[in-house]
Amino acid sequence: MTTPSTDATSPQAEAPAARRLLIVGPPGAGKGTQAARIAEELSIPAISTGDIFRANVSGQTELGLLAKSYMDKGEYVPDSVTNDMVRSRLAEDDAQDGFLLDGYPRTLDQVEALDGMLTELGSALDCVLLLVVDAEEVVQRLVARGAESGRSDDTEETIRRRLEVYADQTAPLIDVYDRRGLVRRVNGMASIDEVTQSLREALATR
């Protein structure tokens, strides 16, 4: 089998081969903005668990109604329901050639579930993009955003708690993907355009 050329002038060099991606970063790191940019460039869907939940609930799917029954009682939606929603989304036509997951997996059990889903689909993650940020600067950024938008959940106490939860939940996930050689760390404190360029370079050099 002939190995594709990696010369800088070849078509393969112009677009990174990594197309099954996960973006990770704490609240306020700019994941949503960067996910949308990278997904558009690669012509793959940016898939967030928030979007999946909203689509299922508004569409009154069986899974959406089940999730809503927990949410209406103020209870945590079980992993099994979240996993089934993600499995259904990844099986859709637009995700067959790649996807960028944002907000999933959040737990080690979800990492295992995602592994199973991708095995069923005959694929695997290509790369995990980790936005590295300064916690104190993120706190100030989100507090300022809360003041501007009137968001009641952007108090300093709430933000610090969300960052603690993220750190507790995400560190084990990063360790798992690090051992697989998938993690690419990018400085999330740079300008939006600089972060996007760094993500491009991370994908091109994986």
* Least-confidence region, from 7-11, 91-95, 183-187: 7-11
Q: Residue 1: pLDDT above 70?
A: no
Task: Classify residue 92 by its DSSP letter.
Answer: S
Considering the chain, what percentage of its residues have pLDDT values greater than 90?
A: 60
Q: Which helix (H) or strand (E) holds 101?
A: strand 99-102
Q: Is 106 an active-site residue? A: yes
Span 50-68, pLDDT tens digits: 889 889 999 999 999 998 8
Q: What is the mean pLDDT of residues 183-190?
A: 96
- Name the catalytic one among 19, 87, 89, 106: 106
Span 121-174, pLDDT tens digits: 999 999 999 999 999 998 998 888 888 887 666 788 888 988 988 888 888 999
Question: What CATH code would you report for 17-204?
Answer: 3.40.50.300
Span 90-112, pLDDT tens digits: 999 999 999 999 989 988 999 99
Domain extent listing, the chain: 17-204
Give the pLDDT confidence score for residue 170 in this predicted structure.
85
Q: Residue 35: pLDDT above 90?
A: yes
Measured distance CA(87)–CA(102) in Å, rounded: 14
> Which one has a higher pLDDT value, 111 or 7?
111
Q: Is 151 an active-site residue? A: yes
Tokens 């594709």 identify what position?
4
- Name the catalytic one among 19, 20, 31, 37: 31
- Name the catalytic one among 19, 20, 37, 162: 162
Amino acid letter for position 116? G
Q: Residue 11: pLDDT above 70?
A: no
Task: Classify residue 45 by its DSSP letter.
Answer: -
